[in-house]
Amino acid sequence: MKHKLISTALFAAFLISWEVFSRVSGFSELVLPSLSAVLATLWSGLTTGYLWPHIWLTGVEMLLGLATGCAIGFVCGVVLGESVFLRRILYPYIIASQVIPKLALAPLFIVWFGFGMTSIVVITALICFFPLLENTLTAIQHIDPQKRELFRMLGATRMQTLLRLKIPAGLPVIMAGFRVAVVLSLVGAVVGEFIGGRDGLGAMIIASQGMMDSPLMFAVLIVITVLGMIFFQATIWFERWLLRKHITGTEQ
Amino acid sequence: MDFVSLQKVTHTYRDANGKPELIVDGFDWAIGEGEFHCLVGRSGCGKTTLLKLVAGLLQPDSGSIALQGQPLRDPGEQVGFVFQRPTLLEWLTVAENILLPISLKRKPGPADHEKLESLLALVGLSGLADRNATQLSGGQQSRVAIARALILEPPVLLLDEPFAALDAITREELQDDLLKLFRSRNTTVLFVTHDIREAVYLADRVAVMDRGQLIRDLTIPLPRPRDGEIRYSQGFNDLCADVRHAMDVPA
């Protein structure tokens, strides 16, 4: 409770000093718009409905990219975790695909998939893929050897060992990867829109830059931050729900 | 006929560089039906490896292991195994953990739940069935692990230092409960431990192992049922001293 109070006070102090500084410093509105101007732009953007389609589009791109990337990353993590053969053969390629800055691939995707949603979803998915793959792979390879022996003693099939031991036991580590993916997915969607989007919040930032409309740019940044925090908080709740059985009580 | 028999069992471990190390060296042993045997030895003498060989988790390089006259191949239902740590699945309840051996084969039915209830009563965990496994104390977790190993009613029970991490009082309670279970079910038991007093208290026969070899075979003539008082008797202490001296081999 005390921490929340201090945190809120800090936020208020930040907002007030922003407003005061922008008024007394004499910077032009292009460099540092005042908080009140930004909020006015944000308010009109929200009330006139001008911002909503962009928020919606970025949100959908982010969710589609996140879902696709995480699903593929999880499946690949499980397959590579189970097969030493495939791991040896494919892992160097996966590393290579990840050390390429994915945003540098964006122009290529625009050539392949055109401007707009598809390209951005693909970029976002590619970014979300790796944390899920890496964490799933790590999680299912590092299962307590005694528990594996237990499943062998009980005559469990490979599928049973995977579904009833490795994945549940690895879930906390897998979810940590998912949390990283959620944060990266917003970056992927917004920056993808910088390059390949006509609409969406990222495209709006580029547009506001072109129009030298700094208050709008700040308003969009605030929207992106809030969107990110909503998604992150939802992830935390989802994780807590999913791991509710793992975290009741502590290890003795 | 012997219930469990080991003949000239040898097992070699190869490290990452392929350098072989002899872990179990020509081990002969036999356990009659319904007997309780303990295997003692220092850390690293190969006793856990031997137990895993009997469980079928490892294969001997040479020699043979037979259960009820049948050569052992793979781990199976006829053997229950209790590991050094309770190895409970943290995301399951106590009941789900104990029923795991059944639920891996089929959906547990009413008869299985009855068996679960009676086992919970036997190990003193009645009323805790729906608790999460991690909410239990160390001793209770060990009890769950024993109940899980017994749910399929295996004729042979193997235990690998199951009480090593518990405090002395809890350990004694668990030893007594294990003896009670053993008496009520006519299970054949092989119990590995480094605790000499534990071995003498529990066993009909004690095997002392050193560097992969059987170095002493000792029958424990103490009467059953045993209770805590016997631990302070002269005969008990003489037997402990006997085992202890057997372990004093020049390095």
When pLDDT is averaged across residues B185-206 and rounded to a whole number, the result is 92
A contact test, residue of B67, B81, B85, B90 with most A CBs within 10 A: B90
Q: Give the one of A153, A245, A252 whose C-beta lies nearest to B55's C-beta.
A: A153
Q: Which residues in chain A land under pLDDT 50?
A: 249-252
Opening angle at CA A234, ends A228 and A236, nearest 5? 105
The minimum CA-CA distance between B139 and chain A, rounded to whole Å, is 10
- Which two tokens mark A175? 């979810």
Nearest CA in chain A to B139: A252
In this complex, is the C-beta atom of A80 within 8 Å of any C-beta atom belonging to chain B? no
Of residues B1 and A198, more confidently modeled:
A198
CA distance B233 to A87: 60
In this complex, is the C-beta atom of A252 within 8 Å of any C-beta atom belonging to chain B? yes
Decide if A149 and B57 are in contact by the 8 Å CB cutoff. Answer: yes
A153, B57 contact by CB (below 8 A): yes
B-proximal residues of A, 126-145, CB under 8 Å: 144
Residue B203 has pLDDT above 90, yes or no: yes
**Average confidence score pLDDT of chain B:** 90
The minimum CA-CA distance between B101 and chain A, rounded to whole Å, is 6
3-state helix, strand, coil in chain B (%, to 5): 35, 25, 35
pLDDT digits (tens, 9 = 90+) for B150-183: 999 999 999 999 998 889 899 999 999 999 888 8
In whole angstroms, what separates CA A66 from the centre of its chain?
A: 7
Q: For chain A, what is the HEC assignment?
A: CHHHHHHHHHHHHHHHHHHHHHHHCCCCCCCCCCHHHHHHHHHHHHHCCCCHHHHHHHHHHHHHHHHHHHHHHHHHHHHHHHCHHHHHHHHHHHHHHHHCCHHHHHHHHHHHHCCCHHHHHHHHHHHHHHHHHHHHHHHHHCCCHHHHHHHHHCCCCHHHHHHHHHHHHHHHHHHHHHHHHHHHHHHHHHHHHHHHCCCCHHHHHHHHHHCCCHHHHHHHHHHHHHHHHHHHHHHHHHHHHHCHHHHCCCCC
Q: Which residues contact B109 (CB under 8 A, 6 or more apart)?
A: none
Complex-level ipTM: 0.89
- pLDDT value of position B30: 92
- pLDDT value of position A250: 43
How is chain A split into domains, by residue range? 37-251
CA distance B69 to A223: 74
The minimum CA-CA distance between B158 and chain A, rounded to whole Å, is 11
Q: Which residues contact A108 (CB under 8 A, 6 or more apart)?
A: none
Residue B251 has pLDDT above 70, yes or no: no
- pLDDT value of position A44: 94
CA distance A126 to A136: 16
- pLDDT value of position A173: 95
Decide if B83 and A152 are in contact by the 8 Å CB cutoff. Answer: no
- pLDDT value of position A248: 55
CA distance A223 to B62: 71
pLDDT digits (tens, 9 = 90+) for B112-139: 999 999 999 988 898 898 988 888 998 9
Residue B1 has pLDDT above 80, yes or no: no
- Which two tokens mark B217? 């075979």
- Which two tokens mark A69? 């990337």
Give A37-251's CATH code, choosing from 1.10.10.410, 2.40.50.100, 1.20.120.530, 1.10.3720.10.
1.10.3720.10
Q: Which residues contact B250 (CB under 8 A, 6 or more apart)?
A: none
Q: Give the one of B84, B91, B100 whose C-beta lies nearest to A154's C-beta.
A: B100
B contact test, residue of A146, A148, A150, A160 with most B CBs within 10 A: A150
Of residues B64 and B73, more confidently modeled:
B64
In whole angstroms, what separates CA B29 from the centre of its chain?
A: 15
Question: Minimum mean pLDDT among B11-15, B33-37, B54-58: which range?
Answer: B11-15
Residue B76 has pLDDT above 50, yes or no: yes
pLDDT digits (tens, 9 = 90+) for B21-46: 889 988 999 999 999 999 999 888 88
Percent of chain B residues past pLDDT 70, beyond the cut = 99
A contact test, residue of B77, B83, B141, B152 with most A CBs within 10 A: B83
Which residues of chain B does A146 touch, with a Cβ-Cβ cutoff of 8 Å?
83-85, 87
Nearest CA in chain B to A246: B91
When pLDDT is averaged across residues B95-114 and rounded to a whole number, the result is 93
* Angular region, A28: left φ>0, alpha ψ -120 to 50, beta rest: beta
Q: Give the one of B57, B92, B141 whose C-beta lies nearest to A152's C-beta.
A: B57
Can you give the length of chain A in residues? 252
In this complex, is the C-beta atom of B165 within 8 Å of any C-beta atom belonging to chain A? no
- pLDDT value of position B191: 95
Q: Alpha-carbon Rg of chain A, whole angstroms?
A: 23
Residue B235, amino acid: G
Decide if A249 and B132 are in contact by the 8 Å CB cutoff. Answer: yes
First-to-last alpha carbon distance for chain A, in angstroms, is 29
H or E segment to which residue B189 belongs: strand B188-193
In this complex, is the C-beta atom of A149 within 8 Å of any C-beta atom belonging to chain B? yes
